[in-house]
Amino acid sequence: MSQKTSLNFFGKITAVTLLSAAAVFSLNVKDAKAETSSQTINVSSSDIEDRGAYRAIQAALNQAEEEATSQTPYRVVVAPGNYELNSTLRVYSNTDLVLDGVTLQESKEPESGTNMIKVGDSYDQNSGYYYKNITVEGGTLDKNGSNATALKAVHVENFTLKNMTIENTYNSHLMETAGVNGLNINSCTFKNQTIDLSNNSDIENSYEAIQLDILIPEHLQGYLPEALQTKNVQITNCTFDSVPRGVGSHTTFLNVPFDNIQIKNNTFTNMGSCAIEGMNWINCTISGNTISNSPRGIALYSVRDFNTYLPSSASKEGGVASSYSDKYKKPSTKQNITISGNIISSSGKDKYAPYDPLGILLEGVNLKKSVTNPNHGDVVPRGNYFISGATITRNTITSDSHGIKLIDAKNSTISSNKITCTAKKGSNLHGILLIKESTSNNINNNTIKNAPSNGIYVNTKSSASSINSNTIKSAGKYGIDVEGASASTISSNKISNSKSNGIFIFNGSNVKKTIKSNTIKSVGKYGIGVDTKAKVTTIEKNNISSPKASGIYVRNKSVVKNIKSNTISSPKKYGIGLDHATVNLIQSNKITKPSQNGINVYVSTAKKIYSNKISKGKKFGIGIYSCKHKPKLKKNSIKSCKKGKIEK
């Protein structure tokens, strides 16, 4: 967020001043017959020595302001060297400020709240994307431990920052932008951003190294308030080291999303909070980034019940009319968010806020009633501000908390991710977690190892269209758990060594189509468990070996229509067990070496038990106990069961 806006106590250095110092500046004008007419102003080290870095460089920037056009852009090239800067350099349209080999270090006693480089005037009352076509390239901006943002770009179209290092701020951002159309940050380094919570309670708004902000004085002083959309942002090939958050936004206008945000191929190390945190982003791609030693990797939020402003608030304060509504609008089901190919290592606790550590988070919010922000008075209308249409794919995540977590996120795909969990087994943490009405999502082809609790967990009225072809090893509780939620298909998953059930459908959950063709080995309890008023249409063609209880177990008023064509070997209890449950058909299952009955029906309704093959059981092939309605038994093959074929 903005700190105090700088004042220029030196006054504006005009082009007349510049041109009278011909010995200092050389104006290189290209041949008039050439196709281009760009101009170059060289700022020499001798002029900087004579006049100071601020006065010498600003004079050149002022000449560029007066003379540069889109057809005749200016380049201000500063001679290499280390220079002290005691006031803000202001850059204007159609200007390229070149600082290759230059280090600008802020003086120990600059103007109060000084930025080092800023687009536009000190107190900027221009609206829209007023400034255009500006590039700052090369060099180092060293804030020298002071508490103001180093570089600001606001109300601008086509701003480029490249090959620059920005470092050493205290309780402030390194770079801040708002109201930008076309922001390109490439091959830059952002480092050593210090936040001291004990010193200032207001600096929680200053965590991001690069902050994508909004034009509200509470967050960005010195600019005309306006609900101006930030869009077309590219941040690529940059390095972030020892900063609280790398890239992010934590403010938004209602119905004014940040649009087309591309964050690619960056490196984030030693984050205190989160590498990438966005609020209200659409058409967003976050790919190819490497994140290490960060409590949170990537976190995207929709509108939130705080830091959300109404467009009309900016209009009233700034006098700029807005076409955006203050009313609730249902979010798009296709928000086009892609998080792919990132390498994330998340660990430790967030130093600045009580967020759960995790690899990747998408979080919407369903406001059951309108919310008034006590700080600014804006009322966010009630409504479901969900995230939808996201693809999370091909990420490699090592996490001591959740791997991937979705809250109120819909119509999204989680596929081909590799998740390794490092937290203590038994803690309430999961490989992939869907909660709070995260509906119609697909979870396919992921590899999950050592989840502290569940490998895949679908909970609290959430739903998965498919949970298919995942490999889940050594989960601390269940391989796949659907609890108070639903799924359409759970198929072709490979689950091994879960401490409890391989697949568990629980607490009123519903699998609408099938649990099919899963391979489940050496789990600590049931291969497939259906419990407490849960419903499953069909359990079929699963291969379950060596469960420490039953292969398939249905209980507590749960209902399964069909259990058929499953292969179950060496269960420590029953091959298939029913306890106070209802199953329409048990057919064509192959059960070998059960430690108790092959099929066990207790106080349950099993209408038909047909064509099952049961062998080498230590008790009965089929046991039927305390059932009001006896099942129809037909064409079952029972061999080598020690106590016989059937007990009723």
Q: Where are the domains of the chain?
A: 15-421, 423-548, 571-648
In this model, does residue 26 exceed pLDDT 80? no
Output the six-digit token pair for 224.
């005309």
Q: What are the beta bridge partners of residue 345? A: 398
Q: Is the CATH number 2.160.20.10 carried by domain 15-421?
A: yes
Instruction: Provide the 3-class DSSP secondary structure of residue 620.
Output: strand
Q: How confident is the model at residue 124 (pLDDT cuts 50, 70, 90)?
A: confident
Cβ-Cβ contacts under 8 Å for 177 (sequence gap 6 or more) = 152, 153, 154, 159, 183, 210, 211, 212, 213, 230
pLDDT higher than threshold 70 for residue 155: yes
β-strand pairing of 632-634 with 605-610 = parallel
- Flag whether pLDDT at 202 surpasses 70: no
* H or E element in which residue 212 lies: strand 208-213
**Can you tell me the distance from the alpha carbon of 637 to that of 410, in angstroms, rounded to the nearest whole number?**
46
Residue 28 has pLDDT above 80, yes or no: no
Q: Give the span between the Cα atoms of 346 and 426, in whole angstroms.
A: 19
The per-residue pLDDT of the chain, averaged, comes to: 92
Confidence at residue 29, expressed as pLDDT on a 0 to 100 scale: 34
Which run of H or E residues covers position 62? helix 53-67
> Cα(220)–Cα(253) distance, rounded to whole angstroms?
14
Cα–Cα distance, 496 to 530 (Å, whole number): 18
Over range 146-165, report the average pLDDT.
Answer: 96
Residues 62 and 93: beta-carbon distance below 8 Å? no
pLDDT, position 112: 52
Whether residue 513 is predicted with pLDDT greater than 70 in this model: the reply is: yes
pLDDT over 70 percentage in the chain: 93
Give the pLDDT confidence of 373-402 residue by residue, as tens digits: 877 789 999 999 999 999 999 999 999 999
Name the CA radius of gyration of the chain, rounded: 32
Parallel, antiparallel, or unpaired for β 390-393 and 413-415?
Answer: parallel
Which H or E element spans position 53? helix 53-67
Mean pLDDT of 530-558: 98
- Residue 254 and residue 234 in contact, taking contact as beta carbons nearer than 8 Å: no
Residue with tokens 């600096």: 203
Q: What tokens were used for 601?
A: 């029906």
Question: pLDDT band at 162, cuts 50/70/90?
Answer: very high
Residues 6+ apart with CB under 8 A from 326: 254, 255, 310, 311, 312, 381
Give the number of C-alpha atoms closer than 13 A to the C-alpha of residue 611, restricted to the C-beta side.
7
Beta-sheet strands, E only, within 351-431: 358-363, 365-367, 371-372, 379-380, 383-385, 387-388, 390-393, 396-399, 402-407, 409-410, 413-415, 418-421
The C-alpha atoms of residue 126 and residue 566 are separated, in whole angstroms, by 71
Determine the 3-state secondary structure of 239 from DSSP: strand
Q: How would you classify residue 15: left for phi > 0, otherwise alpha for psi between -120 and 50, otherwise beta?
A: alpha
In angstroms, the CA 413 to CA 622 distance is 42
Residue 306 confidence class, pLDDT cut points 50, 70, 90? confident
The full 3-state SS of 395-417, as one line of letters, equals CEEEECCEEEEEECEECCEEECC
Q: Tell me: the pLDDT tens digits for 566-613?
A: 999 999 999 999 999 999 999 999 999 999 999 999 999 999 999 999
Three-state DSSP class for residue 541: coil
- What does pTM read for this prediction? 0.93
Query: Per-residue pLDDT averaged across 613-624, rounded?
Result: 96
Q: Is 56 a residue whose pLDDT tops 90?
A: yes
CA atoms within 13 A on the CB side of 556: 11
Segment 331-350, tens digit of pLDDT = 999 999 999 999 999 999 99
